[in-house]
Amino acid sequence: MAEQLLEPATRAAVRGSIGKLSALGIGNPALTIEAMMRDMLRPMLKEWLDENLPSVVERMVEKEIARVSRGE
């Protein structure tokens, strides 16, 4: 079996904390932790992509053009 990332005590503490949060019944009870995280991360990811994606794509296109022009 693969080594666990978290110790059992750490997992139990995290589960307990998340359980307390879930028990509060804030917002949509059908909303999962994954959905909440996705909603929270979406604006951060959008900002990062807006700031970085054009230069990443430009750099990759330049590399590919150089590769093709060398006949590789």
Residue tagged 């430009």 (tokens): 58
Give the pair of three-digit tokens for residue 41: 């991360």
- Do residues 33 and 15 touch, judged by C-beta distance below 8 A? no
pTM for this structure?
0.50
Per-residue pLDDT of the chain (72 residues; tens, 9 = 90+): 567 788 889 989 988 888 887 766 666 667 777 888 888 999 999 999 999 999 999 999 999 999 999 987
| Cα dihedral 66/61/51/46 (nearest 10) | -150
